Amino acid sequence: MFDNFISSPQNPKVKRLMALQQKSSARREDSLFVVEGLREVERCIEAGYELDSLFCCPSLMQGSLAVRDEASTFEVSPEVYARIAYRGTTEGVIAIVRMRHLGLESLRLPKDPLLVVLESVEKPGNLGAVLRTADAARVDAVIVCDPLTDLFNPNLIRSSLGAFFTVPCVACSSAECIAFLRQRGVQILTAQLQDSRLYYDTDMRRATAIVMGTESTGLSPQWRQAADAHIRIPMLGRVDSLNVSVSAAILVFEAVRQRRAVE
């Protein structure tokens, strides 16, 4: 099954993997990224991504993978795996995967889609958590505008628990996204405190994009002006904001509730 056995962390292939984990410049240069965990790699393969190479620690593996012959496979020692794994409960599997271009042109949307748009998201963990929510709610796509994080960041993929591969996720500029939504008749709902109405008083049954910004600065004027409606979550305590992934879950599942009510 394996092409070679690796027992040293100084092996060039291990060093290459770690560079891809740690440096976005290395990922961009080689058009490769890292996926850690049996479940995550399985979902990556199911989504049609092409594996460049696979690193496995048999003593930790709790299943098997159907890998195409083109991918190089390496057995690594437990010591090497401990060095390259971010977390210990990943079933002994880490893959290097070939990137895809993730742009608006790749989206295939149904009638009356439900979309999540994030402007200038910075923390990979937040985006990963939003993708988990999007998967749970069967959101049709997550669009990241003017991103401040690499969409192929390993932390993003880990925190999404593989939802990065089950929900279409693309990147573009805010201007491109606004034009895309308007061309398709998708209403734009911006989550903001100012000049807004309660989210559950807003009709989300038609084609809808729920747009959110960062906790620190919120949405840019460009999005506020483009909005068809401004919506807010009632804040009854002293804190005036929620984590973006929590806000996304509240708003998205309200849209799900409304849509299921008319089925």
pLDDT of residue 142: 98
- 115 and 10 co-located in one domain: no
Residues 164-179 have a mean pLDDT of: 97
pLDDT band at residue 91 under the 50/70/90 scheme: confident
* Closest by CA position to 38, among listed 87, 101, 82: 87
Same domain, 9 and 136: no
Judge whether 38 and 56 are in contact, CB under 8 Å: no
Are 88 and 123 contained in the same domain? no
Number of domains in the chain: 2
Q: pLDDT value at position 68? A: 66
CATH number of the domain residue 40 falls in: 3.30.1330.30
In Å, how far from its chain's centre is CA 82? Answer: 25
Q: Kindly state whether residues 182 and 201 are assigned to the same domain.
A: yes
Predicted pLDDT of residue 255: 98
pLDDT, mean over the chain: 92
pLDDT band at 247; cut points 50, 70, 90 = very high
CA distances from 223 to 19, 119, 180, 191, 235 (A): 36, 9, 13, 10, 22
Residues 88 and 141 grouped into a single domain: no
**Which residues neighbour 200 within 8 Å (Cβ) at sequence distance 6 or greater?**
254
Model pLDDT, residue 6: 94
Residue where one domain finishes, among candidates 98, 115, 149? 98
Q: Does 191 lie in the same domain as 88?
A: no
Q: Are residues 251 and 130 in the same domain?
A: yes
- Which comes out higher in pLDDT, residue 159 or 70? 159
Residues 150 and 114 in one domain: yes
Q: What is the pTM of this model?
A: 0.92
Q: What range defines the domain where residue 223 resides?
A: 104-261
Pick the last residue of a domain from 47, 74, 98.
98
CATH of the domain at 195: 3.40.1280.10
Both 202 and 139 in a single domain? yes
**Co-location of 119 and 86 in the same domain:** no
Q: 8 with 78, same domain?
A: yes
Amino acid at 80: V
98, 118, 139: which is the final residue of a domain? Answer: 98
Distance, in Å, from the CA atom of 75 to the CA atom of 7, rounded to the nearest integer, reads 9
Please say whether the beta carbons of 137 and 245 come within 8 A: no
Find tokens 């058009």 and name the residue.
Answer: 31
| Residue 36, helix vs strand vs coil | strand
Residue 152 and residue 92 share a domain: no
